[in-house]
Amino acid sequence: MGILNVTPDSFADAGLHLDPGAAEAAAAEMEASGADLIDVGGESTRPGAGIISPEEEIARIQPVLKRLARAIRVPVSVDTSKAAVAEMALDEGATLVNDVSGLRYDAALAEVAARRRAGLVLMHGRGRSRDMYRDAVYASVAREVRDELQASLDRALAAGVAREAIVLDPGLGFAKRAEHSYAALAALPEFSALGCPLLVGPSRKSFLTAAIGDPHRPAHERDVATAAAVSAAILLGAHIVRVHAVADMVDVVRVADAIRRAADSAAVD
């Protein structure tokens, strides 16, 4: 999943794709590099980010979605927690809604996904972006993230979303300090037991710098560390990885996936 941020304040690529033409070109390049789907977001979810209105979010991403409907063949996802934004995006050709709130912010989002028969990503998190680390307190990361993902899954199913349309995301970096993110990544096999495909998004996130030993490493210089996390995610059961540097990560994904297939084959033998 290639990341296409249409925001002025993203932590990794602030303002690069605000122009719809630039966004279209970036999406086309991701597709040509091997992206299987493109995730378009109009509201930053970095730590400390503020909330914008549905109208502002729509104004940012609707022109981009219109262009992508003509320009690319791979499926388009919309990164939003707002029902009104999701409805518009599905009208413009998106087929997947990526909700970082796990249906905690806008209960109507589940109804939209169910009625439109859209795919739905439910991510684990706590609180809002502006204060997410306040809630980064865990007795057991694996158990608590699993239980809270189960609660999001139950909300979606109760609203009529088909189980086969749902993807779960442990939310690396969201209401998690570095040690919590590594614990959530290591616990992917436990989350697989919930019965849905898993999406993992480690790309360029600050938790990577804890292992690197350089807390000041800028986001665009974290791609090698991202590659290590992407490989681990795939080997531990992830079905989708959400990344910025698609061209580089496609190679990483293919090698990790080959190792995983070989391990599966050996287990059968």
User: Of 82, 126, 205, 222, which is the active-site residue?
Assistant: 205
How far apart CA 5 and CA 41 sit, in angstroms, is: 5
The answer to whether residue 66 is catalytic is no
Please pick, among 242, 254, 260, 261, the residue that the annotation labels catalytic.
Answer: 242
Angstrom CA distances, 213 to 72, 208, 209, 222, 224, stand at 39, 9, 6, 12, 14
Topology annotation, domain 2-268: TIM Barrel (3.20.20)
Query: What's the whole-model pTM score?
Result: 0.93
205 is catalytic: yes
Per-residue pLDDT for the chain (269 aa), expressed as one digit of tens each?
Answer: 999 999 875 555 555 666 899 999 999 999 999 999 999 999 987 776 678 899 999 999 999 999 999 999 999 999 999 999 999 999 999 999 999 999 999 999 999 999 999 999 999 999 887 788 899 999 999 999 999 999 999 999 999 999 999 999 999 999 999 999 999 999 999 999 999 999 999 999 999 999 999 999 999 999 999 999 999 999 999 999 999 999 999 999 999 999 999 998 888 77
Give the pLDDT confidence score for residue 132 in this predicted structure.
Answer: 80
What is the reported pLDDT for 37?
A: 97
Q: Which two tokens stand for residue 107?
A: 């209960």
